[in-house]
């Protein structure tokens, strides 16, 4: 028995919906024949073709929210829609910066719980969510124990984004109403950090560094290996917190989820917080001086050694191959 | 300026973690102040200093029988703590917790509410914004810098591409990331002073939330907990000067060179 209807919060990205939004639309399609998407922004309606291609019959368009942070107005629009049209079985929301705000505000508005950090969805006469716990060593399955809508925050890369070849979704205006003081946080300016090479979450090879590098300056070695392999440079939370590298490089529970062909971890012990973000990688190579480091439990190739020696040697070897 | 910091006591993350028979996290061991909250406490103390006066209040939902973790926050310099302690709170989900915190916070009438972006045990990362919605306040999450000027808070908020500068009128809820400030170590004097700082204990009935929190309020249930498919460990070599070469050979074998 398929679920009656699912709504997907489809975040606008640069010129298209974000990749996680497309993953959620694909997942929703496998659970229900009635999938709708909701997006926002001045170009909201322009996403109708893509939303339809990935399986949404309807695209609710909140429209322009000005410079407001999306959480409050988008949650208000969703709450209004639930009031007008009745609740879907589930509202799937990307576990992104703005997605978490939307989910939390919608939850409080509707007095409905949120299931978070979801990496799998099943239909067992109602939506069942799967959550990795304790660093991914165990999987919890959960469900809502009263009537919908169930609000579900889904982690990036939990599902494949697969177009279904549908025609454009029908656009329905869904303006935010009664936002009130909750919506008074506004974006004054945006700063973009310079980046070279592929995006961390899209790269086929990710080279990450952690505390074992010893000092901030040695992160340049990690970046050099990443550049030589045409990959992206990542980092553990420890060195992001320490201010060695910007947060945009962080891989893990609170950072990005990556699933590259090869993940190379230099001086990363493998805290559960980090492993959750990279254990889906196809191949894992780890270098750490502690033979008991947890990262070795999931590494296809583990080198017990000093990253400060291995990294320069690896750079030379890769240059010799170039 | 009066700043409330939402503080959570959690089982020591360095110790093994497990679920109880009812699928709630086992919290029977020693509870510590979540390290993620020490950044909020430090930020609050600095903002109050810069504002030229005021105080910092910790608000927590935990057992009043063990508040050693909150005493750490008091030792850092917070003036007092408000604890909501009640057997009926067991099983509360994020929204139930937010209702409790919101009800406790509204009595304090703060200018600013700080919290961590997420706790280090449950890491749902939704409670602070649920609190904001329940209180009708704006919220700014993922702050890596916070400043208050007059009745406005301005935050550098992390984004996928870098960061946004976001402002909102006070009162506002702001969640801070780890590393936003360097949390101070409590001084001996601070630790001694913390012992006599007030810790107010409230019940669910004091907040008028009977029946809305705990297991009955959660309206979600865990149906199974199973071992996840585990990745097998591969080869492990001790580097004898050949580590880099072995990595190159591995990269060759998976055809990425």
Q: Are residues A132 and A14 in the same domain?
A: yes
| CATH 3.30.465.10 matches B2-218 | no
- Whether B7 and chain A come into contact, CB under 8 Å, resolves to no
Q: How confident is the model at residue A39 (pLDDT cuts 50, 70, 90)?
A: very high
Long-range pairs, B151-154, Cβ under 8 A, ≥24 = B153/B112, B154/A188
Average pLDDT over residues B3-28: 81
**Contact assessment for residue A233 and residue A272, using Cβ atoms and an 8 Å cutoff:** no
Choosing from A183, A213, A231, the residue where a domain stops is A183
What distances in angstroms separate CA B99 from CA A190, B121, B208, B213, one per listed residue? 33, 19, 10, 8
Cis amide bond preceding A149, omega within 30: yes
Question: Are A99 and A167 members of one domain?
Answer: yes
Q: Which residues 196-215 of A have a C-beta within 8 angstroms of B?
A: 204-205
Rounded to whole angstroms, the Cα distance separating B176 from B142 reads 5
Helix (H, G, I), strand (E, B) or coil at A9: strand
Average pLDDT, chain A: 93
- Average pLDDT in the A160-176 region? 95
- All residues of chain A having their beta carbon less than 8 Å from the beta carbon of residue B154 are 188
| Cβ separation A301–B246 shorter than 8 A | yes
Q: What residue in B sits closest to A295 (Cα-Cα)?
A: B233
Q: Residue A261: list chain B partners with CB under 8 A.
A: 254, 256
Does residue A128 sit at the B interface (CB-CB below 8 Å)? yes
Q: Tell whether A196 is covered by a domain.
A: no
Structure tokens at B53: 């006066």
**Banded pLDDT at B229 (limits 50, 70, 90):** confident
Backbone phi and psi for residue A233, each to the nearest 5 degrees, phi listed first: -95, 130
Domain of residue A114, residue span: 6-183
Instruction: Please provide residue A318's backbone torsions phi and psi, each rounded to the nearest 5 degrees.
Output: -70, -35
* Residue in A with minimal Cα distance to B119: A254
CB-based burial, A279-317: b 16+ in 10 Å, e otherwise: bbbebbbbbbbeeebbbbbbbbbbbbbbbbebbebbbeb
Query: Would you place residue A138 in the very low, low, confident or very high pLDDT band (cuts 50, 70, 90)?
Result: confident
How do the residues of chain B divide into helix, strand and coil, expressed in percent and rounded to 5?
30, 30, 40
Query: Quick one: pLDDT at residue B11?
Result: 83
Selecting from B132, B159, B256 the residue whose C-beta is nearest the C-beta of A205 gives: B256
Beta-bridge partner residues of A283: A262
- What distance in Å separates the CA atoms of residue B10 and residue B120, rounded to the nearest whole number? 8
Pairwise CB contact (< 8 Å): B179 & A242: yes
Count Cα neighbours of B189 within 13 Å in the Cβ-side half-sphere.
Answer: 1
Q: How far is A290 from chain B (nearest CA, A)?
A: 10
Both A210 and A174 in one domain: the answer is: no
Partner B, chain A 170-199, Cβ-Cβ below 8 Å: 180-193
CB contact under 8 A, B239 and A303: yes
Interface list for B 41-80 with A (CB within 8 A): none
Q: Give B53 to chain A, closest Cα distance, Å.
A: 25
Q: How far is CA A128 from the centre of its chain?
A: 20
Lookup: tokens for A224: 């050099």
CATH code for position A211: 3.40.50.1220
A124 and A213 part of one domain? no
CA distance B245 to chain A (A): 7
- Asked if the C-beta of A147 comes within 8 angstroms of chain B's C-beta atoms, the answer is no
- What is the total count of domains within chain A? 2
Q: What is the mean pLDDT of residues B80-102?
A: 91
Looking up tokens 């070695």 gives: A221
Band of residue A137 on the pLDDT scale cut at 50, 70, 90:
confident
Q: Are A132 and A246 part of one and the same domain? A: no
pLDDT digit string, tens, across residues A190-221: 998 777 788 898 899 999 999 999 999 999 99
Do residues A93 and A216 share a domain?
no
B237 and A205: CB-CB below 8 Å? Answer: no
Residue A89 sits in the same domain as residue A226? no
* Residue B12: strand, helix, or coil: coil
CATH of the domain at A157: 3.40.50.620
A322, two tokens: 């170039």
Distance CA B109, CA B112 (A): 9
Predicted confidence at residue A221, as pLDDT, reads: 97
Bridge partners (DSSP) of residue B61 are: B84
Q: How many CA atoms lie within 13 A of A125 on its CB side?
A: 2
A61 domain residue, yes or no = yes
The string of pLDDT tens digits covering residues A69-128 is 999 999 999 999 999 999 999 999 999 999 999 999 999 999 999 999 999 999 998 899
A177 and A222 belong to one structural domain: no
Q: Is A149 helix (H, G, I), strand (E, B) or coil?
A: coil
> How many residue pairs from chains A and B have C-beta atoms closer than 8 A?
267
List chain B domain ranges.
2-218
A274 in contact with B, Cβ within 8 Å? no
On whether both A156 and A215 belong to a single domain, the answer is: no
Same domain as A120, residue A219: no
Of A112, A253, A304, the CB nearest to B238: A304
Query: Among the three residues A148, A183, A218, which one is the final residue of a domain in this structure?
Result: A183
Give the nearest partner residue to A300 out of B221, B234, B241, using CB atoms.
B234
State the sign of the Cα–Cα–Cα–Cα dihedral B245, B247, B252, B253.
positive
Express each pLDDT in A231-242 by its tens digit: 999 999 999 888
Residues 6+ apart with CB under 8 A from B166: A69, A185, A186, A187, A188, B140, B154, B155, B156, B157
**For chain B, what is the mean pLDDT?**
91
Tell me which DSSP letter residue B183 carries.
P
A219 and A73 part of one domain? no
A132 reaches B (C-beta below 8 A): yes
B164 → closest Cβ in A109, A190, A302: A190
| DSSP one-letter string for B211-242 | TTSHHHHH-EEEEEEEEPPPPPP-EEEE-SS-
Q: Which residues of A touch B132 (CB under 8 A)?
A: 104-105, 182
Same structural domain for residues A305 and A176?
no
Regarding beta strands B55-61 and B2-6, do their DSSP bridges make them parallel or antiparallel, or are they unpaired? parallel
**B140-163 burial: b if 16+ Cβ within 10 Å, else e:** bbbbbebebeeeebbbbbbbbebb
- For A239, name the nearest residue in chain B, comparing CA atoms only: B179
């Amino acid at each position: 028995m398929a679920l009656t209807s699912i709504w997907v919060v489809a975040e606008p990205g640069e010129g298209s919906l974000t990749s996680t939004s497309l993953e959620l639309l694909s997942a929703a399609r496998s659970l229900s024949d009635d999938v709708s998407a909701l997006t926002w922004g001045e170009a909201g309606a322009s996403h109708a073709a893509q939303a339809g291609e990935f399986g949404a019959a309807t695209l609710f368009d909140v429209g322009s929210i000005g410079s407001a942070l999306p959480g409050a107005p988008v949650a208000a629009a969703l709450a209004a829609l639930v009031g007008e049209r009745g609740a879907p079985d589930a509202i799937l929301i990307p576990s992104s910066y703005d997605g978490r705000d939307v989910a939390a505000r919608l939850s409080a508005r509707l007095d409905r719980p949120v299931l978070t950090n979801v990496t799998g969805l099943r239909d067992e006469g109602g939506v069942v969510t799967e959550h990795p716990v304790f660093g991914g060593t165990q999987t919890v399955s959960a469900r809502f124990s009263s009537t919908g809508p169930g609000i579900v925050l889904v982690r990036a890369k939990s599902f494949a984004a697969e177009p279904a070849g549908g025609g454009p979704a029908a656009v329905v205006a869904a303006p935010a109403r009664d936002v009130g003081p909750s919506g008074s946080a506004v974006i004054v300016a945006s700063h973009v950090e310079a980046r070279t090479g592929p995006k961390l979450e899209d790269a086929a090879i990710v080279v990450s560094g952690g505390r074992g590098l010893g000092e901030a300056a040695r992160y340049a070695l990690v970046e050099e290996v990443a550049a030589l392999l045409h990959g992206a440079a990542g980092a553990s939370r420890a060195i992001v917190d320490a201010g060695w590298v910007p947060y945009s490089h962080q891989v893990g529970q609170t950072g990005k989820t990556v699933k590259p062909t090869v993940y190379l971890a230099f001086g990363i012990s493998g805290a559960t917080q980090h492993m959750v973000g990279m254990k889906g990688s196809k191949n894992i190579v780890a270098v750490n001086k502690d033979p008991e480091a947890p990262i070795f439990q999931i590494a296809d190739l583990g080198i017990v050694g000093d990253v400060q020696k291995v990294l320069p040697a690896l750079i030379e070897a890769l240059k010799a191959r170039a | 300026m009066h700043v409330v910091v939402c503080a959570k006591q959690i089982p020591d993350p360095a110790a093994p973690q497990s679920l109880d028979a009812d699928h709630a996290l086992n919290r029977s061991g020693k509870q510590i102040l979540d390290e993620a909250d020490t950044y909020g406490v430090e930020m609050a103390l600095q903002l109050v200093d810069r504002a030229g006066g005021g105080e910092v209040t910790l608000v927590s939902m935990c057992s009043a029988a063990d508040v050693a973790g909150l005493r750490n926050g008091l030792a850092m310099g917070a003036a007092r703590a408000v604890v909501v302690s009640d057997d009926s709170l067991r099983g509360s989900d994020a929204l139930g917790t937010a209702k409790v915190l919101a009800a406790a916070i509204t009595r304090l009438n703060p200018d600013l509410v700080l919290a961590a972006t997420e706790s280090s045990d449950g890491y749902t990362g939704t409670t602070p914004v649920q609190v904001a919605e329940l209180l009708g306040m704006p919220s700014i999450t993922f702050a890596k810098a916070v400043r208050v000027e007059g009745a406005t808070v301005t935050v550098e908020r992390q984004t996928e591409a870098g960061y946004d500068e976001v402002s909102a009128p006070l009162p506002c809820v702001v969640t801070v990331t780890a590393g936003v400030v360097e949390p101070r170590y409590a001084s001996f004097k601070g630790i001694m002073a913390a012992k006599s700082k007030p810790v107010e204990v409230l019940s669910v009935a004091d907040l008028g939330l009977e029946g809305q929190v705990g297991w009955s309020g959660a309206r979600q249930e865990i149906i199974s907990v199973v071992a996840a498919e585990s990745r097998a460990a591969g080869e492990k070599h001790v580097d004898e000067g050949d580590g880099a070469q072995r990595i190159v050979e591995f990269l060759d074998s998976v055809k990425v060179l």
